[in-house]
Amino acid sequence: MTMSPTLEYTLNPQEVTDLRAALAGLRASALSPVEPEFYERHWDGPSLLPGNLRRLLDDFRRNEPSAACLVHGFPVDDAVAGPTPEHWERPEGYGSTIESDLYMALCGLALGEPFSWATLQFGRLLQDVFPVKGDEQRMSGHGSEAFLLFHTDDAFRPDSCDYLLLFGIRNEERIPTYISSARDVSLDDEHRRLLAEARFHIVPDEEHIRQLELRAPDDPALLRALEARDRPRPVPVLFGSPSNPYIRLDAPYMSCAGDDPAAERALDALHAELERVRRPVVLDQGTLLVLDNHIAAHARESFTARYDGTDRWLRKLIVSRGRRRWAGDSTRPGGRIVL
């Protein structure tokens, strides 16, 4: 069976020069893409992106030719980025990543509507992925020693993102992300049928609960996440066309809805296939990875963090194809910070 391709593009030097010039005004503005208001004001910002890049993202969204899309060659000034922070709270602010945040925000707008969860990193639209001391064994973007198992982002939510953007600020040791496409897995008909039935529970990953439990225990977003943990509804893992399915899973946070050995075997077969078809992608400095969150499952290699300012550091943005998916469900009417 041939594996589906990954769309790939490298910006040429002229495109980089033009892009930097086109973004000068946005860079100087007081409105940061970390804030939801940025996307209301600059919804037409994708017109500033190079035409080739816009077409690539359009193709990726409209035609679904692959599970992932890689764009190389965005400029990152290591000195401006500064040391990898110790914690996502970042009391020093986000000025050091404004340039890459702008690239991500415009690419995100080209794909749909960027949003965030009220439960994570204070609902900031652009978030950090780097190792945090004490979190080494956690199944989250802040773990390191533990291999981060295959998942689609926020699979416990029916309104999970359509696209996940990850941007390499720093990755000196070239620690890979792994991508497995639902279109590449080979399963027998019985396993496919079982996986397409609502026989599985997926609960929130612990970050959705831990961050607010520590900082805002009365937040309504926390209560909602606790309900999703304590009263999960059974969901299918595969959906859409049986021959070309979409996927929803979170290996460390899922189980069968009851005692269901047949469904368990089907899930084991799927996990084995995800391992078999996985492909490593290294998010080098200046590389953007866009994942179709309903076609790609992703994982991350384990590594040893140094906590000396040189650790791997990614920025992350999630995008919905349209705001109707979460309209009325946000912290403010029409807002982008979803409860």
Q: Which residues bind ligand AKG (CB under 6 A)?
A: 129, 141, 148, 153, 177, 298, 300, 314, 316
User: Which is closer to ligand AKG, CB of 176 or CB of 234?
Assistant: 176
Smallest distance from ligand AKG to CB 274, Å:
13
Q: Is 95 exposed, middle or buried (0-12, 13-18, 19+ CB in 10 A)?
A: exposed
> What's the closest the beta carbon of residue 85 comes to ligand AKG, in angstroms?
15
What are the angstrom distances between the C-alpha of 173 and each of 97, 113, 129, 170, 190? 20, 33, 15, 9, 42
User: How many residues are present in the chain?
Assistant: 339
* 26 vs 228, beta carbon nearer ligand AKG: 228
Minimum distance, C-beta of residue 194 to ligand AKG, in the bound complex (Å): 26
Which residues make Cβ contacts (< 8 Å) with residue 146, sequence separation at least 6?
Answer: 136, 137, 138, 139, 302
Nearest to 168 by CA among 9, 281, 13, 12: 281
- For residues 151 and 154, give the distance between their C-alpha atoms in angstroms, rounded to a whole number: 8
If DSSP codes are grouped into helix, strand and coil, which group holds residue 312? coil
Cβ distance to ligand AKG smaller for residue 85 or 141: 141
Name the residue whose CB lies closest to ligand AKG.
177
What are the structure tokens assigned to 328, written together?
Answer: 């009325």
Gap between the Cα atoms of 153 and 320, Å rounded: 12
Quote the CA–CA distance of 140 and 136 in Å, as a whole number: 9
Nearest approach in angstroms of CB 299 to ligand AKG is 7
Nearer to ligand AKG among residue 260 and residue 301 (C-beta): 301
CB of 141 to ligand AKG, least distance (A): 4
Structure tokens given for 265: 């075997």
* Minimum gap (Å) between residue 180 Cβ and ligand AKG: 12
Which one, 123 or 141, has the nearer CB to ligand AKG?
141
Query: SS3 letters for 123-168?
Result: HCCCEEECCCCCCCCCCCCCCCCCCEEEECCCCCCCCCCCEEEEEE
C-beta of 66 vs 171, nearer to ligand AKG = 171
Minimum distance, C-beta of residue 301 to ligand AKG, in the bound complex (Å): 8
Task: Decide whether 102 or 155 has the Cβ nearer to ligand AKG.
Answer: 155
